[in-house]
Amino acid sequence: MSALQHPASDAVVTARDLRVWYAGPKGPVRAVDGVTFEVRKGEILGLVGESGCGKSTLGRGLLGLLPEGAARDGSLVVGGRDVLSMSAKEARRLRGGELGMIFQEPLTRLNPLMRVSDHFAETLKVHEPRLPRKEIERRSLEALRVVGIPPTRFRAYPHEFSGGMRQRIMIALTLVVRPAFVVADEPTTALDVLVEAQIIRNLHTLRAEFDTAMLLITHNLGIVAEACDRVAVMYAGRIVEIGDAREVFRNPQHSYTRELLRSTISLETDGLHYIDGAPPDLVAPPPGCRFHPRCPDAMVVCAQRTPADKVLAGGSRVACWAAEERAGVSGLGPHESAPLEREEIGVADEA
């Protein structure tokens, strides 16, 4: 049974109208603003979007790894329990055991003065304090075997490994406590394509052996096409399209998704395409659809009213007036559906 066929009761994480706001000098920064999705058992959900759209904040917000001055609101259900209604101590117990995270910069997460074996021992003692030493070693070596690190390197220091091997150690440290849900935040950043392929295989092994649900945050659309069951496209703190990864890539509904896919480079690329302008200020985002100042399909209604989520062709859930108009389900009048006059975007706005 594929992840898309799993019943709704298989949802490991369910977010409803989830918000994560930061305190800023000019007012609250709406980094994640009303996000709704779920990740099912054994499913990999890809999360893509431009830098600054809120992807990493969403991933950290799911685990509660936020700085002081940040606030969460909405509903976040993990394993049938609402995390946002828990005490800080109860929520902290979920991290590591049920909720894991693979960070994108292993050298900043691994202690250079500790051997790899000490990292595993520390991790397991925190979450399973009564585990005997032999079992700690057995579990650690098994986790390293899954990601392709030989047992002969168990007592080495982090600096003795390549970048790709350090990233695999981070994956092993996450899976050694067997979490039900993992956030993988840019796990292949700055790695060459061969190591990148190894990391993707490791993530699939993690899913296959432990039935782990995963949120894979990345800029690399090729990784999403290869590794993910579904994909969520994020823009300015909101998910604008979510659906089966292959269907979204084959037939993108939201104008932003289409423009994002057009901006990728392949062997067939004969010219560079980019989206005019830059993502908006999340302290004071534009009214209506937040993409409308940059959207080539923007209509008058796009600058006036926020589009609701609707399931359109192929089963994707989309928040886009233009997509509704193309599908013939918008119900807009002639004035609302008229093309929006876009202001010319200056060089300073694009910087």
**191-242 per-position pLDDT tens digit:** 677 777 877 887 887 788 778 899 999 988 888 988 899 999 999 999 999 9
**129-158 per-position pLDDT tens digit:** 999 999 999 999 998 988 889 999 999 999
- Global confidence as pTM: 0.88
**164-191 per-position pLDDT tens digit:** 889 889 888 988 888 899 999 988 776 6
1-98+179-275 is classed CATH 3.40.50.920: no
40 with 6: CB under 8 angstroms?
Answer: yes
What pLDDT, on the 0 to 100 scale, is given for residue 272? 77
280 with 292: CB under 8 angstroms?
Answer: no
Sorted by sequence, the CB contacts under 8 Å of residue 80 that are 6+ apart come out as none
Distance set, CA 26 to CA 54, 236, 283, 289, 351 (Å) = 18, 17, 7, 22, 20
Distance, in Å, from the CA atom of 241 to the CA atom of 231, rounded to the nearest integer, reads: 8
Distance, in Å, from the CA atom of 288 to the CA atom of 306, rounded to the nearest integer, reads: 4
- The structural domains of the chain, with segments of one domain joined by +, span 1-98+179-275, 109-174
**Pairing verdict, β 181-185 and 99-102:** parallel
Question: Is the pLDDT reported for residue 276 higher than 60?
Answer: yes
What pLDDT, on the 0 to 100 scale, is given for residue 274? 83
Residues of the chain with pLDDT > 90: what percent?
60
Q: What is the DSSP string of 13-61?
A: EEEEEEEEEE--TTS-EEEEEEEEEEEETT-EEEEE--TTSSHHHHHHH
Q: Which residue has the higher pLDDT, 334 or 4?
A: 334
Distance, in Å, from the CA atom of 313 to the CA atom of 265, rounded to the nearest integer, reads: 26
Side-chain half-sphere CA neighbours of 196 within 13 A: 14
12 dihedral zone (left: phi>0; alpha: psi -120 to 50; beta): alpha
Question: Is the pLDDT reported for residue 341 higher than 80?
Answer: yes
